[in-house]
Amino acid sequence: MIRRTALLLAGLATFATPSLAAADGPSLLQAAFDRGKSNYTFGYRSIPRIDIIGAPADTDFSRWAMLHDGKVYRLYFFRRGQAALYQFGFNTKTNRYEHGHQSIPQIPIVGAPGDADMSSFAMLHDGKVFRLYFRGKQKKTTLYQFGFNTKSNRYEFGHQSIPQIPIVGAPADADLSRWGMLHDGQYFRLYAASGSSDTVIHQFGFDPRGSKYAYGYKSIPKIALVGQPADADSKSFALLHDGTDFRFYRQRL
C-alpha cells in the first residue's frame, strides 16, 4: 500500500505547484490509462505537464523514450551525432525531469546491427533488465533488442536478450515509425500510432509461443487518446507502467 501511494503521488504530485522552469522550455504532457473507460486521458491521475531541465546543448529532443524501473521514472534522449543516450530522472521534490538525477548521465550503445534504425527507439524495464529497442531500416517489422550491461554501463546488442523480434499482424494504418513500449509487470507491450488518427494508438503484446509481438495479443487492439492538448506534438510519444498506472506522454510543441 505504501509503494502504491508513493507511485500515485509521483504521478499526481500537486496541481497547485507551478513549474519552476521557463514556460518555453522542453516539457512533457502526461496522460494515464482510465480503466473504466479504456482510454488514455490527459491529466488523469497525473501531473498534466512536467518540465525537463539540465539537458546538454547537443540533446536531440526528437529521439526519446521513457521507462519506470520500480523506483525511478526515467527519460532518455539521444546525444546528437553519437550512439549514446542522455538519461534524466524524475525528481519528486521539484516535479521535474533532471539530467543525471539518480541516473548515469550518459550511456553508450554498442553492437548495433547495420540495419538498426536509430531515428527512433523504445525502452522498458522488465523487473530485472533495462532494455532498448530499434526497428530495422529495411526490416521495418523487426525489433533489435539491447540489454543494459551493469558491468560495462552500456546498452549492448543481444545482452540478456533475444537479438531480433518480429512484429506481426499490424493493421494497414499502423505507423511503426511512431511507437513506444513498456512492461506492465506481466506482459511486454508495444504501441504504434494510427496513421489515420492522432487520437488512437494500436497495441501489441509479446507472444512467447513465437517470440513475436502480435497485434492485439493480451491487449486492447485500439486505445483512444482523450483530451490531448492542442500543443501536444503528435510526431512521437512514449509510455511506461509504474506498477500502478499505464502512462502516456507526448512532448509539448
Give the model confidence (pLDDT) of 135-176 as tens digits: 999 999 999 999 999 999 999 999 999 999 999 999 999 999
Count CB atoms within 10 A of the CB of residue 141.
16
CA-based nearest residue to 166, from 195, 193, 145, 197: 145
CA distance 238 to 34: 17
Q: What integer pLDDT is reported at residue 78 of this predicted model?
A: 98
Q: Which residues pair with 134 in a beta bridge?
A: 144
Residue 4: pLDDT above 80?
no
Residue 54: pLDDT above 50?
yes
Q: What integer pLDDT is reported at residue 15 of this predicted model?
A: 29
By mean pLDDT, which of 12-21, 128-137, 139-148, 236-245 is the weakest?
12-21
Report in angstroms the alpha-carbon separations of 228 from 64, 115, 184, 231.
19, 34, 23, 8
Query: Residues 51, 26: contact at Cβ < 8 Å?
Result: yes
List the grid coordinates of 209.
509461443
pLDDT tens digit sequence for 64-121? 999 999 999 999 999 999 999 999 999 999 999 999 999 999 999 999 999 999 999 9
Q: Residues 195-199: what's their mean pLDDT?
A: 97
**Which amino acid appears at position 153 of this protein?**
N
Q: What integer pLDDT is reported at residue 24 of this predicted model?
A: 57
Residue 14: pLDDT above 50?
no
Residue 13: pLDDT above 70?
no
Work out the angle at residue 97's Cα, subtended by the Cα atoms of residues 94 and 99, and round it to the nearest 5 degrees: 115
3 state DSSP class of 80: coil
Q: What integer pLDDT is reported at residue 25 of this predicted model?
A: 76
Residue 19: pLDDT above 70?
no
Residue 221: CA atoms inside 13 Å, Cβ hemisphere, count? 9
pTM, rounded to two decimals = 0.92
Residue 206: pLDDT above 60?
yes
